[in-house]
Amino acid sequence: MSDFDVVALRRDFPGLHQDVHGKTLCYLDNAATTQKPRAVLDATEHYYVEDCANVHRGVHLLSERATRSFEAVRGKVARFIGAKSADEVVFTKGVTDAVNLVAQTFGRATLTPGQHIILSGAPPRRGRRRSWRP
């Protein structure tokens, strides 16, 4: 991985172009939110300015454009991760949604009573289980 250019990568993230307490910002709180690269910020701004509408639900021009853009990204992600088809790419709101989706689909179809999915990470909040059972 000697070709990995951290300086070039940091240039893509405007939020990292600042000093905090006299030091170059090193943002490590990615579990809460992540810094966005310029391409994401530009695409988000374009959506909110030009195509702000529901995806897959409207029958008007803005919704149609938003849906086309959304599906184009699904195809780009599929190619990037080597998926056989864009149909294999599922977008969720975040990690919690993704884990719950896997538990409710793959877990229900695959696990049998007595088997568990064990999650590691932060301690559970009051009243929350650390495992999921079918």
Are 98 and 92 a contacting pair, CB within 8 Å? yes
Please identify which residue in the block is written with the tokens 């701004």: 45
43 & 103 share domain? no
Domain that holds residue 102: 95-132
**What local confidence, expressed as pLDDT, does residue 32 receive?**
75
76 & 50 share domain? yes
80 & 17 share domain? yes
Please identify which residue in the block is written with the tokens 């509408």: 53
Both tokens of 127, joined, read 């009243």
- The verdict on pTM exceeding 0.75 is no
Maximum separation of any 2 CA atoms in the chain, in Å: 56
- Mean per-residue pLDDT, 123-127: 60
* 115 vs 39 pLDDT, higher one: 39
